Structure 1
Amino acid sequence: MKKRNFTFRYGLYIYLSIVAFFALMKVFNLEDVSELRLFNFVFVIYFVNKLIVRNFIEDDKVGYLYNLRTAFGASATAVFLSCASMLVYTTFVSPEFPEVLEGSFLFGRNLTGMRVVLVLFLEGMASSAIVAFTLMQYWKNYKREHKNVALD
């Protein structure tokens, strides 16, 4: 039986949840609150964990490296999509958004849309690796005991 790969699907889930969260921040005029921007980390952890659990439930023979690769791939997919969206947003929709980010403790001064995208890419890829590795360290020991975990 062929293994189903859910990497892109869960990367899309991460991306869409982050976009929805930032759209809500925009609607409620909270885009200048930098602490709320850190909340997107929760979406990454949640969906990467769901992907790992799904892989273990779908196929008993799924190994550590396969799960590590799919977990990192899902969050990296979300990073690429988020960078592309941020580039479009800072170029066409809201060119003044880098000025909003300059007041943040996460970014520096003299920001452009490309610098924001570069920082987003670097931070996203680093957090993708950290989340994938951390969750795999947890699940490598408990995968067989949690076989009855519900998918959705």
Structure 2
Amino acid sequence: MKLSKELLNGIIIFIGIGVYFLLINIFGFSDIMYLRYFNVFFIFYGINRTLKMKLAEGKINFASDSISALSTGLIGVLLSVIGLVIYSYIKGGDAYMEALPKNFWLGGNSSINVCIICTLIEGIASSVIVTMLLMFYWNNRLKTE
């Protein structure tokens, strides 16, 4: 069974983000808030990879390429949120959330549900922004070539 480009690259985004967050947790850097923003690079990589694969096939259609790119990012984000839910409950659920540093999630007084909703909104927003940036990049690059 062959996976679609979007699903394959969404899984790559999920694996990249998951490994990255596990590593910063293992090395004790999970309390440094700014390190958590680097997960956008995995979204950039996965979405860009989808666009490159579509361009390599000769499929150049702004609308369908943008839908593929956005669906790649959303698949990666949804899988990452599911992974976060599972990880949080394995670590103790809401008790784990209370034990996190105060600067980790919204002042430290939030439940798993609030954190998941905020992470989902952040992930969707970053997927939309990255998709737009990469679509403009590739659109301009193809017009100049």
TM-score (structure 2 length as normaliser):
0.87
In the alignment, the residues of structure 1 paired with residue 88 and residue 59 of structure 2 have an alpha-carbon distance, to the nearest angstrom, of 44
| Structure 1: 5+ residue stretches without partners | 147-152
- The alpha-carbon deviation at position 83 of structure 1 amounts to 1.0
1:137 to partner: Cα distance: 0.8
In the alignment, what sits opposite 1:64?
A: 62
Deviations 1:29-74 (A, max 9, x none): 111111110010111112211211111011x233011110111101
Aligned to 2:86: 88
The equivalent residue for 2:122 is 123
RMSD: 2.0
Structure 1 residue aligned with 2:102: 102
TM-score (norm 1): 0.83
Higher mean displacement: 119-128 or 47-56: 47-56
2:113 alignment partner in structure 1 = 114
Partner of 1:26: 25
Q: Which has the higher helix share?
A: 2
* 1:92 Cα offset (Å): 2.5
Secondary structure of the corresponding residue to residue 54 of structure 2: helix
* Paired position in structure 1 for 2:138: 139
Distance 1:31 1:97 in 2: 14
Provide structure 2 residue ranges, at least 5 long, that are not aligned to the other structure: none
Residue 79 of structure 1: aligned partner = 77
Query: Deviation per CA, 1:93-119, whole angstroms, max 9, x where unpaired?
Result: 243442325323x62442111111000
**Equivalent position amino acid for 1:103 in 2:** N
- Counterpart contact for 2:85–2:116, Cα < 8 Å: yes
How many residues in Structure 1 have an aligned counterpart in Structure 2? 141
Partner Cα separation in structure 2 for residue 87 and residue 128 of structure 1: 20
Aligned residue in 1 for 2:48: 49
Match of 1:16, SS? helix
| One-letter amino acid of the counterpart of residue 55, structure 1 | K
Identity level (%): 26
For 2:18 and 2:76, locate their aligned partners in 1 and report how far apart those are by CA, in whole Å: 10
Does structure 2 retain, via aligned residues, the 8 Å contact 1:15–1:79? yes
Query: How far does residue 11 in structure 1 lie from its aligned partner after superposition?
Result: 0.4
- In structure 2, give the amino acid aligned to 1:43: F
Q: CA-to-partner distance for each residue in 1:69-96, whole Å, 9 max, x for gaps?
A: 1111011001111111111122222434
